[in-house]
Amino acid sequence: MIRETRTYQRINRAMGKAIHQYDMIQDGDRIALGLSGGKDSLTLLTMLVDRLRRIPVTYTIHPIYIDPGFDGSFSEELAAYCQGLGLTLTCEMTDHGPEAHRDEQTANPCFLCSRQRRKRLFELTSELGCRTLALGHNKDDMIETLLINIFYSGQISTMMPHQPMFDGEVTVIRPLYQAEEGDILHFASEQELPVFTNPCPSATTSKRSEIRDLLKSLYKTNPHIKGNIFRSLSHVRLDYLLT
């Protein structure tokens, strides 16, 4: 049984606000949920299951895990956690990770692996009869993605909280996009969620890790920086951008 702590209440408010703002979930929806085994996706799964007992809207959750194929797989433990919530995990074993890290690959291994994972995630979402795919990205992910795109892609963009794709066949939702990563970390600990360690050898050396470290150093100098960057995502002054 979930404990309704202050951290739970903050995340619940942030998630409820996001769902209401974008009308993310409708009665009767079949929602595929991409799991990674990390704190964010496990928090989203746990919170969406908990939400069903408090609201008059009914929906079903269909968790999916794409195993990248590294040593140290935790797919069985993840399936057991889902079963404890009354859900069946759809798990697919792949070799996306090792293939992306082969010596002869010249592209970024994280890009190759994530592209393959996303492709299969969308395919499984459709195969399960779901038209909504929920992902666990949080406020910090939104900010990091903005800077990654500026620094490495030369564009000002980030992830969308509500994003129809493939001519509306599948809609990606991110109900935790307003939730703080620190709150999610605390929530996962106090609720004793089975957070698993990412077995990817590039997990601590990726571009996202570099951006995260940079932001952490900036946040130490000014506590308002994170909020200002996040607010800027919806306060764009096009008259002051190059066209």
User: Is residue 229 in some structural domain?
Assistant: yes
- pLDDT band, very low/low/confident/very high, at 206 (cuts 50, 70, 90): confident
- Among candidates 147, 135, 136, which has minimal Cα distance to 226? 147
Residue 204: per-residue pLDDT: 65
Percent of the chain, pLDDT > 70? 93
User: Is residue 1 in some structural domain?
Assistant: no
Contacts of 97 (CB under 8 A, 6+ apart): 68, 69, 70, 113, 199, 200
207-226 residue pLDDT tens? 888 999 999 999 999 999 99
Residue 63: per-residue pLDDT: 98
**What sections of 101-197 are H helices per DSSP?**
109-127, 139-153, 181-190
156-198 residue pLDDT tens? 999 999 999 999 999 999 999 999 999 999 999 999 999 988 7
Q: Classify burial at 228, counting beta carbons within 10 Å of its beta carbon; exposed 0-12, middle 13-18, buried 19 or more.
A: exposed
25-36 residue pLDDT tens? 999 999 999 999
DSSP letter assigned to residue 147: H
Tally of domains in the chain: 1
DSSP string, 81-105: HHHHTT---EEEE--HHHHHT-TT-
Q: What is the mean pLDDT of the chain?
A: 92
User: Is residue 127 in some structural domain?
Assistant: yes
Whether pLDDT at 236 is above 60: yes
Average pLDDT over residues 131-144: 98
Residue 207: per-residue pLDDT: 85
Contacts of 203 (CB under 8 A, 6+ apart): 209
Residue 11: per-residue pLDDT: 98
Whether pLDDT at 39 is above 90: yes
Whether pLDDT at 205 is above 90: no
Residue 170 region by backbone torsions, left for phi larger than 0, else alpha for psi between -120 and 50, else beta: beta
Residue in this structure with the two tokens 């194929």, named with its chain if needed: 69
Residue 202: per-residue pLDDT: 65
User: Is residue 41 in some structural domain?
Assistant: yes
Whether pLDDT at 21 is above 90: yes
Give the torsion through C-alpha atoms of 132, 43, 58, 177, to 10 deg. Answer: -50
Residue 57: per-residue pLDDT: 93
* Structural domain harbouring 177: 6-240
Q: Is the dihedral of CA 233, 65, 76, 200 positive or negative?
A: negative
Provide the CATH number for the domain around residue 153: 3.40.50.620
User: Is residue 160 in some structural domain?
Assistant: yes
Which amino acid does the sequence have at 182?
G
Q: Answer whether 82's CB lies under 8 Å from 88's CB.
A: yes
Q: Answer whether 201's CB lies under 8 Å from 100's CB.
A: no
Alpha-carbon span 139 to 150, nearest angstrom:
17
User: Is residue 95 in some structural domain?
Assistant: yes
- pLDDT band, very low/low/confident/very high, at 72 (cuts 50, 70, 90): confident
Whether pLDDT at 107 is above 80: no
Contacts of 138 (CB under 8 A, 6+ apart): 40, 176, 177, 179, 180, 181, 184
